[in-house]
Structure 1
Amino acid sequence: MKNGLEDVVAAETKLSDVDGEGGRLIIRGLSLDHLVATETYEDVAALLLDGFFPQRIDSAELRIRLGHARITVFAHFAAIDPDLAALPPVEAMRALIARLPDGDDLDTALHLIAAPAVFLPALLRLQKHEAPIAPNASLSQSADILAMLTGNVPSQQQVAALDAYLVTISDHGLNASTFTARVVASTGAGLTSSALAAVSALKGPLHGGAPGPVLDMLDAIGTPDNAKTWIGAALDRRERLMGFGHRVYRVRDPRADALKGALKPLVAAGQVNAERLDLAQAVEAAALAILKERKPDRPLDVNVEFYTALLLDALGFSREAFTGVFAIGRMVGWIAHAREQALEGRLIRPRSVYVGPLPQAA
């Protein structure tokens, strides 16, 4: 038995390969570096969904259909009530997704991919006492998300940065939320059930909730000169450093460099505070040096959450919304895994080892 299913192979997949020793992520035969540099979110979404539905669609058609799906899904926002609107963003978003039909066809999939992209910006605006903005079907998914969030036309650099983020987190092996989606799909439940279960797993702080505290850490450190002292004191208190270490990667998380690179055009365009990025890089350098000194036998490096926090903050998302933005990007991966499990897998039914008391003999 391996507690937490550590290193247990639970599925064969054509979707992604996480190489923890080599620090590589491959999505359907293409490296993450290649995808971030050359592909849009719609390209990667079409790549992940390919072969799991009777229809074959390319990225151009997917962009059109996804735009129409955002329009359709937005109508469900009219059902929101004050109690629902007052919930944390990811919980309110989950409740709205639950209104969608529970099918297993491509239309259901596209509505689910559209749903968090539409609901989260609308919820964030409503919580600031601003009117939600209807989607624009002519825009890309990333451009429309930013337009619905801010009410402004996003810059080319902002759209590219969000696209890079959504591509980077679109799929990542059998993480907790993806495995949850596959378990539910293995029972024959529909895609909406699988997606809702995945969102519920994601909102746990050990999975999708880490980026926000990265900013809290940077705020507490304040200046690059304070980084070494603050980090040393935090480790003395046995506190976890947010944005460092990963369950699978034994070297640097390749997604961290992809997102760090996505920040640079925003800095060049003056859309990110350069001092904030300088602080983050100083904290990264100090943390890596101290961790190497104090924990030489335990490889700890930057993970995806570290630069996610800076990128999403720069794009105008509040810290409490970060988990919801993660769901926007990972939704297509959840759906692809759910379809793969439904088409090619079996009912997932592991065994447990009973360690409780035994009945006493009479």
Structure 2
Amino acid sequence: MIGGLDDVVAAETVLSDVDGIAGRLIIRGVSLDDLVHSRYEDVLSLLLDGFFPDLSGLPEGLGAARVAVFKHLASVDADLLALTPIEAVRALLARLPDGDDLTTALHLIAAPAVFTPGIIRLRSGLAPIAPNPGVTHACDILAMMLGKAPEAQQVAALDRYLVTVADHGLNASTFAARVVASTQAGLASAILAGLSALKGPLHGGAPGPVLDMLDAVGTPANAARWVEDELARGERLMGFGHRVYRVRDPRADALKGAVELLATSSAIDPVRLALAEAVERAALAALKRKKPDRRLETNVEFYTALLLESLGFPRATFTCVFAMGRTGGWIAHAREQVLGGRLIRPQSRYVGPKPQQAA
């Protein structure tokens, strides 16, 4: 049985390089360490360069796209609000037309950024707030959710998150998007495939349980005992270890930096931050002691959870926020596949029963 296609090269890409041994993420020749100081719009321009004719007006185009997709929130009804947030976003995104041009791409990138705050407010009995095309993408997302202008540190922290998760090699959702794109079904179909794969708890659903873990620990003084008890029961510690990285996930450091940005504002609870730091110390020490043959380091989900909670996103929407950043990467991979690839059609090996031979 071939499990998970590990070590199978399914595409050549100019978009991102995930070095799990060195703990390094490179996006189009630029290290994540340098990219985290950029706006999301700047990283979009980097990812999409060469896949569309003219990106000179991308920030303005993305602002206009937010305004254009906002109208779909008017059709949200009780049945849609009864869905989970990611299912509601998926349903709304499915209403967008397919196509392969830049306008279609920007509408798809804008969709989760507009639909998620709108759904959050509607589920709370509040009216959605219309986008402001004159501000940055990260600023507008927070304003549409919070109902007021966000602090500069909040905007910078969300920008850092969106940049950090924009692309990450040929993960499950990106591969799904490329497979659908290879059929020339259109960008909307490819993004819906990526979003559906992201919805799975083995891919995009881990940050929420990190907060459940912090809630269960309660106080920094309980961290070491709680971690030891969980490991003794054979439980997994959420936010530690990664399928690819054998050292510390570089995205974890980037997002810890974003949390530190919030620590200089009124957005973050210093008690919550101290608890998270105590749990991280206790978990890393216990994992090193109990599993010395494995490098189980902090991964991207750990500080994602604290960051998104501090920004005001309900934990049920964390996968939606992930999609806000990753959609840009899906678009870039879909265009790369269409422009330079073939229909993706791997082989399978039949291991079922053989037909019985006639006597």
Residue aligning to 1:123: 119
1:270 to partner: Cα distance: 3.0
Gapped runs of 5+ residues in structure 1? none
User: Partners in 2 of 1:338 and 1:162 — Cα distance?
Assistant: 25
User: Partners in 1 of 2:83 and 2:142 — Cα distance?
Assistant: 22
Residue aligning to 1:57: 55
Residue aligning to 2:209: 213
User: Partners in 2 of 1:136 and 1:236 — Cα distance?
Assistant: 51
CA contact (8 A) 1:18 1:173 kept: yes
Residue aligning to 1:182: 178
Match runs of 1:300-339 below 5 Å: 300-339=296-335
**TM-score with structure 1 setting the length:** 0.98
Alignment partner of 1:25: what SS? strand
Residue aligning to 2:4: 4
Letter in 1 for 2:149: V
Give the percent of matched residue pairs that are identical in Structure 1 and Structure 2. 69
User: Partners in 2 of 1:46 and 1:2 — Cα distance?
Assistant: 37
Aligned partner of 2:135 among 111, 116, 139: 139
Residue aligning to 1:44: 43
User: Partners in 1 of 2:54 and 2:61 — Cα distance?
Assistant: 13
Aligned partner of 2:94 among 85, 94, 98: 98
User: Partners in 2 of 1:357 and 1:235 — Cα distance?
Assistant: 42
Residue aligning to 2:235: 239
CA contact (8 A) 1:244 1:300 kept: yes
Residue aligning to 1:192: 188
Measured against aligned partners, the alpha-carbon deviations of 1:74-105 in whole angstroms (never above 9, x if no partner) come to: 11111222101211000000000000010011
- Would you identify which runs of 4 or more consecutive aligned residues in structure 1 move more than 2 Å? none
User: Partners in 1 of 2:126 and 2:6 — Cα distance?
Assistant: 46
CA contact (8 A) 1:16 1:171 kept: yes
Residue aligning to 2:249: 253
User: Partners in 2 of 1:197 and 1:57 — Cα distance?
Assistant: 25
CA contact (8 A) 2:198 2:319 kept: yes
Residue aligning to 1:84: 80
User: Partners in 2 of 1:217 and 1:136 — Cα distance?
Assistant: 37
Residue aligning to 1:349: 345
Give the alignment's Cα RMSD to 1 decimal. 0.9
CA contact (8 A) 2:153 2:264 kept: no
Residue aligning to 1:13: 13
CA contact (8 A) 2:214 2:276 kept: yes
1:265 to partner: Cα distance: 2.0
Q: Structure 1's 79 and 270: CA in aligned 2 closer, same or farther, altered over 3 A?
A: closer
Measured against aligned partners, the alpha-carbon deviations of 1:208-239 in whole angstroms (never above 9, x if no partner) come to: 00000000000100111111111111111111
Measured against aligned partners, the alpha-carbon deviations of 1:289-320 in whole angstroms (never above 9, x if no partner) come to: 11111111121110000000000000000000
Letter in 2 for 1:74: F
Measured against aligned partners, the alpha-carbon deviations of 1:320-341 in whole angstroms (never above 9, x if no partner) come to: 0000000000000000000000
1:62 to partner: Cα distance: 1.1
Alignment partner of 2:25: what SS? strand
User: Partners in 1 of 2:194 and 2:107 — Cα distance?
Assistant: 16
CA contact (8 A) 1:2 1:8 kept: no
Aligned partner of 2:287 among 278, 287, 291: 291
Aligned partner of 1:74 among 58, 70, 77: 70
Alignment partner of 1:26: what SS? strand
User: Partners in 1 of 2:193 and 2:24 — Cα distance?
Assistant: 28
Count of equivalent residues: 358
User: Partners in 1 of 2:206 and 2:104 — Cα distance?
Assistant: 30
Measured against aligned partners, the alpha-carbon deviations of 1:265-293 in whole angstroms (never above 9, x if no partner) come to: 21122321112111111111111111111
CA contact (8 A) 1:93 1:120 kept: yes
Residue aligning to 1:277: 273
1:10 to partner: Cα distance: 0.5
**TM-score with structure 2 setting the length:** 0.98
Residue aligning to 2:225: 229
